[in-house]
Structure 1
Amino acid sequence: MKTLKIYLLIAVLLGVSSSLVAQEKLSKIVKSGELKIGITGTQPPFSMKDKNDQLIGFDVDLANLLATSMDLKLTLVEMPFGELLPSLSKGKVDLVISGMTITPSRNVKTAFVGPYLISGKSILTKSQVLSNATNPQDINSDIKVVTLKGSTSQKFAEKYLTQVQLELVENFDIAIEKIRNNEADVMIADYPTCAYAMLKFPNEDMVILDRPMTIEPIGIALPNDDALFVNLVDNYIESLERSGILEIMEEKWFENPYWLMQLK
């Protein structure tokens, strides 16, 4: 009985300690008055640079709305996609908003809020034959495929496209250029990214799938040891969704091409 009481005491102390740590993290953000959000800046239409070298996009708008709702100054920290989650775990950013798919392997190490958007894997190609694909096996042949390094698109290609020549690049602008210049046959990416390429280059004979090959939830990545922070962000995102703001943002960035005039 004495041993049991000791174990219970330890469990209570650990719980209190964990709660205090969570409160300290959130308090630190509030005290600093700054919210640091990790983003690539190279994932159109989620994030990209305009003519004035300023970040714009769906995720940029979402980051601004979140920071404003929390009454905090927004600082966008740009980095390659593969560095986002490591930077989050090291405390270099407070959260990540960068077109990131919620997967079990990521969720084991990282907390997620959302999804704030439902996406799926698609392709960008100049081949009318390949554009009729309905599943990965339809494009699993001796062709050149390009996709983003460290992304779920890379994992998708490595798992299902075992016969292709796979090239990994640092951002999707590079991948799109390879399709435009006939240096690759297919780009694997989330559907919005493929749709963006079609909007930006309407006269280059590029095509995408009629519907994605997968269904994937896109969410916000947060520290996995800060339940209070996760709960706070979740409440704000739910409010944005219920108010219809997220739906308006989807129409702006995924259906209306006028923002393309802001790009270089």
Structure 2
Amino acid sequence: MKTIKILFIAVIVLVSGNLSAQERLSEIVERGTLRVGLTGAQPPFSMKAKNDELIGYDVDLANLLATSMELTLELVEMPFGELLPSLESGNIDMVISGMTITPARNVKTAFVGPYLISGKSILTKEKALSNATNAADINNNIKVVTLAGSTSEKFSKKHLDNVSLELVSNYDEAIQKIINDESDVMVADYPTCAYAMLRYPNHGMVILDRPLTIEPIGIALPNDALFINMVDNYIESLDAMGVLAVMEEKWFENPYWLLQLK
């Protein structure tokens, strides 16, 4: 696996040029700030606490990376669909926002990871739908809501052609639509569905026992070999030390952080 990563980085060096890679990383170091793009509205990856500070798995990961690089962290909030264009234009240095690594995205940008394995799931009040084992089981003239610009939107459009699909800008809005019976199903990554169950335990909502898909979550980076190499080394170190496992337990299994939310 390590050999494959080294070969991958070598290819990027040949394509982008070693000098430009050095200049790109030098710009970040000279600035002294690591600009990380995220939505701030993808619990438990990122969300606002009572004091309006951002918290979540991805926020913790961004802080760890910035500290390891001896840089000041700057969190840049924006809608999910604007993250990769902002990375491409150079307005941010990386994206850590519960982003699934897909071939379509990897064509345009590099990814480090995965730092987490997720998968598509559903949130619903319908007991029959909660027993779904594949997309066909929920493709039956119902109202579906999901996040615009996400792989959940792509999944829904590809597999759910017999539903009424609504796109929203954040998952809190989608969850409220399930609570208020305005939608029958929310399609989202499994951690987001699990978060809804933790936060709203008395609203009769259910999720799947197992995700419908298996999806790797990674950090999106510019095609900069030296920068990719550095971030990859830090992620591997955090994983080897067990830090990522501790963070996963904190944000996906332990409900106490919910007390920090508004």
TM-score, with normalisation over the residues of structure 1?
0.94
Cα separation, 1, equivalents of 2:146 and 2:14: 43
Q: How far apart are residue 117 of structure 1 and its match? A: 0.1
Cα separation, 2, equivalents of 1:173 and 1:21: 41
Cα separation, 2, equivalents of 1:157 and 1:256: 30
Q: Gaps (5+ residues) in structure 1?
A: 1-13
TM-aligned CA distance change 1:64 to 1:163, over 3 Å: same
Secondary structure at the aligned position of 2:219 is classed as: strand
Cα separation, 2, equivalents of 1:40 and 1:184: 23
RMSD over equivalenced CA pairs, Å:
1.1
Q: How far apart are residue 16 of structure 1 and its match? A: 9.7
Identity percentage of aligned residues: 75
Cα separation, 1, equivalents of 2:16 and 2:177: 52
Structure-1 residue corresponding to 2:94: 95
Structure 1: which 4+ aligned runs deviate by more than 3 Å? 14-17
> What are the Cα deviations for residues 67-115 of structure 1, in whole angstroms up to 9, with x where unaligned?
0000000000000000000000000000000000000000001100000
Count how many residue pairs are aligned between Structure 1 and Structure 2.
250
> What are the Cα deviations for residues 89-146 of structure 1, in whole angstroms up to 9, with x where unaligned?
0000000000000000000011000000000000000000000000000000100000
> What are the Cα deviations for residues 186-229 of structure 1, in whole angstroms up to 9, with x where unaligned?
000000000000000000000000010000000000002x1000
Structure 2 letter corresponding to 1:64: N
Q: How far apart are residue 15 of structure 1 and its match? A: 4.9
Structure 1 letter corresponding to 2:246: I
Q: How far apart are residue 18 of structure 1 and its match? A: 1.5
Q: Is 1:234 aligned to 2:232, yes or no?
A: yes
Structure 1 letter corresponding to 2:48: K
TM-score, with normalisation over the residues of structure 2?
0.94
Structure-2 residue corresponding to 1:129: 128
**Pair member with larger Rg:** 1
Structure-2 residue corresponding to 1:217: 216
Structure-2 residue corresponding to 1:8: none
Structure 2 letter corresponding to 1:78: E
Cα separation, 1, equivalents of 2:99 and 2:41: 13
Structure 2 letter corresponding to 1:20: L
Q: Is 1:42 aligned to 2:45, yes or no?
A: no
